[in-house]
Amino acid sequence: MPSIQQGIIAAALMAAFASPVFADGDAANGEKAFRKCAACHTATEDGPSRIGPNLFDIVNRPTAEAEGFAYSDPMAALGEEGHVWSPEELDKFLEDPKGMVPGTKMAFPGVKKPEERADLIAYLTSVSPSAGEAAAE
């Protein structure tokens, strides 16, 4: 019969292995991967929206709040519900945009490789000054 200590250790190991891969993402690789996103998005301060919104400062930003961008009704509703683009939520969305937000305007099918999503999230974090402020709170 397993002891309580063994159960605690097993739970800790499961939590460690279940932690998001994006914690180990590489921002430089993510910047390269972002090239496929750049047809529709910018990620620079005061950058314009294109087909998609500007993603500068997206990490930990409330959903559907890029100024001047006309969001789909489902994305706007998500924002009205208080959704925030945490790294975990970005990971889900990047993997399967239409699965997470049915009716989104984003036509891109998603990034299937967890490592590539981790790199993209690391890059988006690097261009998100508010992400560090939110983590410090």
Per domain, the residue ranges of the chain are 21-136
Q: 21-136, superfamily in CATH?
A: Cytochrome c-like domain (1.10.760.10)
Q: Which residues pair with 62 in a beta bridge?
A: 84
pLDDT tens digits, residue range 25-51? Answer: 999 999 999 999 999 999 999 999 999
pLDDT band at 18 (very low <50, low <70, confident <90, very high): very low
Altogether, the residues listed in the chain come to a count of 137
Q: Which of 125, 133, 98, 136 is nearest to 27 (CA)?
A: 125
Cα distance between residue 24 and residue 91, in whole Å: 13
Q: Where are the beta strands (DSSP E) in the chain?
A: none
What per-residue confidence (pLDDT) applies to 12?
39
What per-residue confidence (pLDDT) applies to 131?
83
Residue 79 exposed, middle or buried by CB count within 10 Å (0-12, 13-18, 19+): middle
Q: What is the pTM of this model?
A: 0.80
